[in-house]
Amino acid sequence: MDKADRIFVAGHRGMVGSGVVRALERRGYSNVLTRSREEVDLIDQQSVHRFFDNERPQHVVLAAAKVGGIHANRTQQVEFMYENLMIQNNVIYGALQHEVERLLFLGSSCIYPKHAPQPIREDSLLTSSLEPTNEGYALAKIAGLKLCEFIHRQKGRRFISAMPCNLYGSGDNFHPEFSHVIPGMMRRFHQAKQENRDAVTVWGTGQVRREFLHVDDLAEGVVRLLETYDESETINVGYGSDVTIQELSELMKAVVGFDGPLVNDTSMPDGTPRKLLDSSKMLATGWEPKIPLEDGLQRTYQWALEQGVFRD
Ligand code: GDP
């Protein structure tokens, strides 16, 4: 890849897309293309094809997706499935038709079976049933990674996919109900501290485990894969170890500075018991995560305070 190549990052306003733009620029890529939803509506096939006709990007990172936490996913399965299928079909097939050389599609570790052996290897895909709380999203992502795999094998094009573990960092969505656990918890703990509350609630039993990767670590991995990875099989990108939600909440208390007791709200779902990725293929590319969870949480809290996200 040449540093002057035209690289379209779809979804540049989101946490992952904005991280990828920063990582590409740090690495010296000087021609990163971005478009807001008002300019190119990725759900609209004509709008996407018009963009490819006019701008002729040489490479694409597909970070645009409808994403959300466990509550958003389980209550909006229709939107999560439909919107993601539309976005990825339009962008991946548009890229195929418009001679895009390299495309990287991003999914998530929820594509793997609920009870996959841990740590989860790439070949666990489609070996048994999915976690029901995010089945719509996972099915869309599986369709996208398979489309890339088929294009790679059948058309000989460098269309690849990467499956990260749970992500967090600057640019995340801090919605109180629909966000993922880190921003959701951070908001509640922050408010509890501000309002001198006695206790805060943590959804679920707190006993399930999650693997968290900072978005800047993922973004470095994305650039590396775009430059070097050329296999049809998807590749896992994880931090390498996981924590229980209980352990996460203890770290969060320290980061935010709230020291009251935690109360588990077991009317909220736990989701899958564990989804630790086996990232040995990714580590073999020479990439490794650099941001430990506690540092990443500190950075994220700092960013959230600077942006005023808790005032929204
Ligand atoms: P998941 O990996 O798809 O389950 O994504 P989430 O990040 O939404 O949730 C991870 C785990 O954290 C689940 O077991 C949730 O029940 C738990 N959790 C605890 N507090 C919260 C919260 O405030 N928001 C969210 N989204 N999850 C929470």
Report residue 157 as tokens. Answer: 């094009």
pTM over 0.95: yes
In a domain? residue 137 = yes
CA 289 to chain centre: 15
Q: Is the pLDDT of residue 281 over 80?
A: yes
Q: Is the CB of 204 under 6 A from ligand 1?
A: yes
Q: Is the pLDDT of residue 312 over 80?
A: no
Domain of 25, CATH number, reads 3.40.50.720
Peptide bond connecting 119 to the previous residue in cis, omega within 30 degrees of 0: yes
Q: 126 lies in which domain range?
A: 7-173+211-239+275-291
Residue 137 is a catalytic residue: yes
Percentage with pLDDT > 90 across the chain: 99
In a domain? residue 1 = no
In a domain? residue 159 = yes
Q: Is the pLDDT of residue 15 over 80?
A: yes
In a domain? residue 183 = no
Q: What is the arithmetic mean of pLDDT over 278-283?
A: 98
pLDDT per position as a tens digit, 83-112: 999 999 999 999 999 999 999 999 999 999
Peptide bond connecting 113 to the previous residue in cis, omega within 30 degrees of 0: no
Q: How far is the CA of 68 from the centre of ligand 1 (A)?
A: 10
Residue 77: predicted pLDDT: 97
In a domain? residue 23 = yes
Q: How far is the CA of 291 from the centre of ligand 1 (A)?
A: 21
Q: How far is the CA of 103 from the centre of ligand 1 (A)?
A: 30
Active-site residue, from 29, 112, 137, 239: 137
Q: Is the CB of 114 under 6 A from ligand 1?
A: no
Number of domains in the chain: 1
Residue 311: predicted pLDDT: 86
Q: What is the DSSP code (8-state) at residue 132?
A: G
102-106 vs 166-168, strand pairing mode: unpaired
In a domain? residue 251 = no
What contacts 9, CB < 8 A, 6 or more positions away? Answer: 17, 20, 21, 24, 32, 33, 34, 60, 61, 63
pLDDT per position as a tens digit, 150-173: 999 999 999 999 999 999 999 999
Query: Is residue 279 very low, low, confident or very high in pLDDT (cuts 50, 70, 90)?
Result: very high
Q: Is the CB of 187 under 6 A from ligand 1?
A: no
**What is the overall mean pLDDT for the chain?**
97
| Crossing angle (nearest 10°) for helices 45-55 and 77-97 | 30
In a domain? residue 38 = yes
Q: What is the arithmetic mean of pLDDT over 9-26?
A: 98
In a domain? residue 250 = no
